[in-house]
Amino acid sequence: MSSNGSSSAPVPTLPSGWTIDKAMNIGNYGTQAYAYKQCTWWVYNRAKEFGITYDSYMGNGADWQHKAGYQVTMTPTLHSAVSFSAGQMVGGQWQADPQYGHVAFVENIHSDGSILISQSGTGFSTVFTYQVLTKAQASQLHYVIGK
């Protein structure tokens, strides 16, 4: 893979019944602020595609919910960063890093309260992946509103 994010790796398909507002343009994702294929790299760059900015150093995924100057809510918010605490379960499927936590991007919210997130990380076989969280799972998380 090149440092600009281009890859021949397969692109994940959207889960059934879900849509996103804007396709990813990973070829334009920079690595000046965050290392390629880290969760922080993904959210920082994905948010930029919507004109949303986060500081170039928000810290590790778990740190985003504590970054001064950002509104944080436990109400799922479209196109926000969702910050998982160190060791917190991610949708009941896997555990965020026990030291660094995790951060993902909220792509969509269904009327039943479930959410669709996109995320990256070195542990995924693709550059990014999608995951659906139930309303109960989503209600336990911290959403960081970008600027």
What's the confidence (pLDDT) of residue 11? 80
For the cut 60, the answer to whether the pLDDT of residue 4 exceeds it is no
pLDDT of 78-114, one tens digit each? 999 999 999 999 999 999 999 999 999 999 999 999 9
pLDDT in tens, 27-45: 999 999 999 999 999 999 9
pLDDT of residue 60: 98
What are the helix and strand counts (H, E) for the chain? 2, 8
Residue with tokens 């479930």: 114
The pLDDT value given to residue 8: 53
Q: Which domains does the chain have, with CATH numbers?
A: 38-145 (3.90.1720.10)
The reported pLDDT for the residue numbered 2 is 34
Q: Does 3 have pLDDT greater than 60? A: no
